[in-house]
Amino acid sequence: MTGTEAISNGVGAFRRPSSKNAATTLGWMAAILAAFFLGTSWLARGFNVMPTTTETVLSQLNRQIFGSGALYFALQYATFAILVLAANTAFADFPRLSSILANDRYMPRQFAARGDRLAFSNGIVVLAVVAILLTWLFRGNTAALIPLYAIGVFVCFTLSQAGMVVHWVKERSAGWRRRAVLNGLGAAATGIVAIVQVTTKFTHGAWIVVLIIPSIIWLLLTIHRHYVRFAEEIKFTGQSPITPLHHTVIVPVSGINKAVAGALVYATTISDEVEAVYVENEIQKTQQLEKDWDAWDIGVPLVVLASPYRSVLRPLVDHVENLRMLSPGELVTVVVPEVVPKSWWEHLLHNKTALYIRTAFMFKPNVVVTAVPFLLGHSYRLREWMEHDEDLDTVGESQPLGGRVPARVTVPEGA
């Protein structure tokens, strides 16, 4: 059953003509399977071998024919290798099948992406996680897991055969009636087996499949509806004019430092209207910052937002919302100064206000959030950057930050 699934799902991986080569491979596989099955049945009847809970039929036949020597263990390990290969088949075909469904927008698009080794890595990882969970939930009990596999396989066979019947009826090519009847018989046979499996093994774990299959179908249809709605909403014909927006840039600040200075320099390059925003937590700090800001005199206004409950995000979000509501075409960019520590462990010593700000504005329309990183230990020092300019005499003079040209910023000593 695993081999049949593998060939059916991997027709596109065969050399051209892929369908003919896949059909030839499937025919040979069916012939080999029939020969092994009939041969094993004939030997089991000849040696009076019966299934037991302690030893497989193949192991009993092997022991009867070859004894307990090296040939016995060789056949046992060969059987083990075949089972490992059968298990690996799922990791080759589920990712390929999920990529087909992803391309048809019935599964997340990540499943259609190939990894560095040109395999569908996301599908492999997801399948591995699901396999681990199933093994853990059922405690590795094969008696409980086999019904899940068998019912799932026969349901898939039934659906695929029924789909082929619909295909032949719609296409009506040469010999379509004969092929539709053949696939119809196959769908009926596998459907009966699936019903028998569900009925006889329902209390042994088959009820899970009865619940999971409709849930998976509902999930796939939901994903498809999302992608259809998504494509419709972002569709743009390019025939309507692009209306210029009024652009305001705000820079959240916690004080005067190099990270803030770098963010202000960037902000002035994208808009003429820039304002620094400080959320007040302590009046004494606000008074000192206003005094230092006036002394800095860079031409960017400082807006102080009151925060009675010491929340940084809520006053900032409300302020941006008020700016955005000034006119229908108002675009607000929030330029966030972000200090990036040199070592990974130093991240634990700093709060993640920049991350929280980006998250708070993620679902706000007409709001763009840009992070300007300041790399500790690696950063391009602002003074060194300014010294590359020939007009070194102007450094230290009070200059506004407005305009399209990045302005020089003198960082006060100790900042």
Q: What angle do CA 8, 14, 17 make, to 5 degrees?
A: 105
Q: Write down the pLDDT at residue 385.
A: 46
Give the tens place of pLDDT for each residue, 230-261: 888 877 766 666 666 788 999 999 889 888 99
CATH of 246-394, one of 1.10.10, 1.10.3470, 3.40.50, 3.90.1690: 3.40.50
Q: Write down the pLDDT at residue 402.
A: 40
Exposure class string for 141-173: b at 16+ Cβ within 10 A, else e: eeebbebbebbbbbbbbbebbbebbeebeeeee
pLDDT at 81 over 60: yes
Q: Are strands 367-375 and 330-340 parallel, antiparallel or unpaired?
A: parallel
Query: pLDDT-derived band of residue 382, with 50, 70 and 90 as boundaries?
Result: very low
Q: Radius of gyration (Cα) for the chain, nearest Å?
A: 34
Listed ranges 178-182, 213-217, 240-244, 384-388; the one with the highest mean pLDDT: 178-182
* CB contact at 8 A, 265 and 401: yes
Query: pLDDT-derived band of residue 92, with 50, 70 and 90 as boundaries?
Result: confident
pLDDT at 149 over 80: no
Give the tens place of pLDDT for each residue, 264-289: 999 999 998 999 999 987 788 888 99
Average pLDDT of the chain?
82
Q: Above pLDDT 70, what percent of the chain? A: 87
Q: Write down the pLDDT at residue 361.
A: 87
* CB contact at 8 A, 268 and 401: yes
pLDDT at 5 over 80: no
* CB contact at 8 A, 298 and 407: yes
The set of residues, in sequence order, having a beta carbon less than 8 Å from that of 318 and lying 6+ positions away, is: none
Mean pLDDT of 394-415: 43
Mean pLDDT of 166-194: 91
Residue 345 gets the label, from left (phi > 0), alpha (psi -120 to 50) or beta, of: alpha
Handedness of CA 396, 402, 405, 406 (dihedral sign): positive
